[in-house]
């Protein structure tokens, strides 16, 4: 099992990508024409990125976060300007390795929690080399 590796990208917001935004809820039943419900155009950059200068995209590899719905090949939107809080999913450097984990505080101790029972908790101690790179704000993956 692979822990995590990554490709890191910066978002390109110079070109707007506007897609139709539908007002109607999607019901898994009998289809209806959607054109009557188009309200306006939505730019995904505006929706997914709140701080362009502090945001990067990273492609996730590995299976340590599958129970958090992060799968092999997913694109993670990461904001470096946000503070990591208890239970945040973060990108961090842990003992020289880039990783994505949930940060967890328990009984005054700090851990990086994988979302796969096959992986151990990683405790952050005074001896640990640790740095938060940013907070994961969105997960983008293909539908099956």
Instruction: With respect to residue 16, please indicate whether it lies within any of the assigned structural domains.
Output: no
Instruction: With respect to residue 87, please indicate whether it lies within any of the assigned structural domains.
Output: yes
Residues 98-108: pLDDT tens digits?
A: 999 999 999 99
Instruction: With respect to residue 17, please indicate whether it lies within any of the assigned structural domains.
Output: no
Instruction: With respect to residue 101, please indicate whether it lies within any of the assigned structural domains.
Output: yes
CATH code assigned at 126:
2.10.109.10
pLDDT above 90 covers a percentage of the chain that reads 48
More confident residue, 38 or 85: 85
Distance of CA 113 to the CA centre of its chain: 15
Q: In 3D, which of 132, 21, 134 has the Cα closest to residue 77?
A: 134
Tokens of 141: 């993956």
How high is the mean pLDDT of the chain? 81
* Cα dihedral across residues 30, 33, 37, 39: positive or negative: positive
**According to the model, what pLDDT value does residue 3 have?**
47
Could you give the residue numbers annotated as active site?
64, 101
Distances (CA, A) of 42 to 13, 15, 39: 13, 13, 10
- How many independent structural domains does the chain possess? 1
pLDDT at 1 over 50: no
Instruction: With respect to residue 21, please indicate whether it lies within any of the assigned structural domains.
Output: no
Give the residue-averaged pLDDT of 109-121.
Answer: 96
Give the residue-averaged pLDDT of 48-66.
Answer: 87
Token look-up 């990108």 returns 91
Distance from C-alpha of 55 to C-alpha of 107, rounded to nearest angstrom? 32
Length of the chain equals 144
**According to the model, what pLDDT value does residue 11 have?**
65
**According to the model, what pLDDT value does residue 45 have?**
73
Instruction: With respect to residue 94, please indicate whether it lies within any of the assigned structural domains.
Output: yes
**According to the model, what pLDDT value does residue 44 have?**
73
Expressed as residue numbers, the domain containing 81 is 52-140
With bands split at pLDDT 50, 70 and 90, how would you rate the model's confidence at 31? low
Distance from C-alpha of 6 to C-alpha of 24, rounded to nearest angstrom? 36
Instruction: With respect to residue 40, please indicate whether it lies within any of the assigned structural domains.
Output: no
Instruction: With respect to residue 32, please indicate whether it lies within any of the assigned structural domains.
Output: no
Contacts with 33 (C-beta within 8 Å, 6 or more apart), sequence order: none
């Amino acid at each position: 099992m692979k822990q995590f590796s990554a490709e890191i990208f910066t978002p390109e917001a110079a070109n707007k990508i506007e897609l139709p935004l539908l007002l109607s809820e999607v019901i898994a039943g009998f289809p209806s024409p959607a054109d009557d419900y188009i309200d306006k155009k939505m730019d995904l950059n505006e929706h997914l990125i709140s701080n362009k200068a502090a945001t990067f995209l990273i492609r996730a590899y590995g299976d340590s976060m599958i129970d958090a719905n992060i799968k092999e090949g997913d694109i993670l939107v990461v904001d470096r300007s946000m503070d990591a809080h208890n239970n945040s999913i973060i990108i961090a450097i842990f003992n020289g390795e880039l990783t994505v984990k949930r940060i967890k505080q328990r009984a005054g101790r700090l851990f990086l929690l994988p979302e796969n029972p096959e992986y151990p908790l990683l405790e952050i101690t005074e001896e640990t080399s640790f740095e938060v790179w940013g907070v994961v704000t969105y997960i983008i993956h293909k539908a099956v």
